[in-house]
Chains A and B, each alone.
Chain A
Amino acid sequence: MSASTTPMEDAIRAKVTAALQPTRLEIFNDSHLHSHHKAMEGVTSKETHFRVFITSDAFKSKTLLARQRMVNHLLQDEMAREGGIHALQLKTRTPEEEERQLQNDAAKQ
């Protein structure tokens, strides 16, 4: 089996799945949008900026802050590491919230 070219994404997927059993998990790698930025000078990793959408029951009755902290803690090592995750955009919803959002969007059509 060949080594994965997306170790960071794999780590995110594995950890979030194991800890939160999400009903939806989408991971977008936005690193290419930031690779020319000054802050990224000298960084060779292609996995620095991620957008992650997570829908999970584990977020029920938790504030946005608490939810994002949960995810931050899961990925603590990856974020602290040199050349690791530099930025993480998160959308954290419960299944009910996601349903409501979809209905709102449909109503706007």
Chain B
Amino acid sequence: MAIVKEIVEEAAFRLDVCSQPTSTLAVLYFHAPWAPPCKQVSVVLSTLASTYPAGSNIAFFSLNAEELPEVSEEFDVTAVPFIVLQKGGVTLETVSGSDATKIRAAVEKYAGAGNGDAKTSLPPAQTVTKPAHPVHDTAGSDATTTNGTKNLAGYAPSAQDSKVTTESEDKQTKEELFKRLRELVKAAPVMLFMKGTPSSPQCGFSRQTVSMLREKGVRYGFFNILADDDVRQGLKEFADWPTFPQLWVGGELVGGLDIVKEEFENDPDFLNDYSVNAPKPQAA
């Protein structure tokens, strides 16, 4: 399964990215740790990466834009999150902002839909780190961006960055969280929000759901809600559904284990479109 490789220095960039064969689609993701939308795009990308088999001709790289200023300048990165798709050093397309559907569409345009091969191998253990500070901590200054990007040029830590939450900031936090969730549920055509990971489920119901999906060869992205309490609590409210696992298809909630089980029982073709067994649709 492909993973997102972190590039920490210029030399590594020259070595890893520039040495990719011209047939490989390199997905370069520029981020900044203080920008809230970036956390979400990180998850979207690692979920997306997990649907491509390792060693296929697509490689994902994550770059901290501020620590790699020369590379950022080379790609004209003025706002994050920012994604560059290139082959053999030629930039094919760039995506600015945190729209998960847009990111996925761009990647699939050049690399084809993710393979998943859910039958024989499971998505890798995902490293989701719980944000060290609540979302509103960093949103103090520049919270009014329209498409979720942050202007690097305008950033400078200043005394006016608010360290104290006010009620209006809390409300904004919730809005931001819901915005993030709205994108997260679309991170893959089939998304499973579960306890633990497919290779290590932490709950019987989650485990049974994973089993069922694997049996039907369904390709899906997953999110470990035990690793992110904001998403865990936020999604309960956002979905109007109090429990996990939660299966989302096409950005809509299908339900939990009971419903998924019944859907499969009532309709033998349920989720067939997303199965490795289905005939692959022609690329548009």
Contacts and interface: CB of A to CB of B under 8 A. Distances in A.
Contacts of A79: 242-243
B204 A64 contact: no
B255 A65 contact: yes
Nearest to B260: A64
Interface in A22-40: 34, 37-39
Chain B interface size band reads 10 to 19
The SS class assigned to the A binding surface is helix
B34 interface: no
Contacts of A62: none
A68 B253 CA distance: 12
B241 A69 contact: yes
Interface string B197-218: 0000011110000000000000
B266 to A, nearest CB: 9
Contacts of B254: 65
B259 interface: yes
A93 B1 CA distance: 41
A55 B162 CA distance: 55
A91 interface: yes
A87 B205 contact: yes
A38 B259 contact: no
B242 A89 contact: no
A65 B263 CA distance: 11
Contacts, number: 35
A80 interface: yes
A89 B203 CA distance: 14
A76 B202 CA distance: 24
A90 B260 CA distance: 12
Interface in B198-251: 202-205, 240-243
A91 B261 CA distance: 11
A65 B256 CA distance: 9
Given A79-B242, A80-B242, A88-B243, A68 B259 contact: yes
A88 B258 CA distance: 9
A87 to B, nearest CB: 7
B242 A68 contact: no
Q: Which of B204, B257, B263 has the most CB of A within 10 A?
A: B204
Contact of B262 (A38, A39, A64): A64
Interface residues of A, number: 17
Interface string A78-89: 011000000111
Contacts of B243: 79, 87-88
A72 interface: yes
Contacts of B262: 64
A68 to B, nearest CB: 6
B202 A68 contact: no
A89 B257 contact: yes
Interface string A87-105: 1111100000000000000
A69 B263 contact: no
Given A34-B204, A87-B205, A72 B242 contact: yes
A90 B202 CA distance: 21
Contacts of A39: 195, 202-203
A46 to B, nearest CB: 18
Contacts of B205: 87
Contacts of B241: 69, 72
Nearest first, the 3 A-B pairs at minimum CB distance are A64-B259, A79-B242, A65-B255
Given A79-B243, A90-B258, 9 more contacts: A34-B204, A39-B203, A64-B258, A64-B259, A68-B256, A68-B258, A69-B240, A72-B242, A88-B243
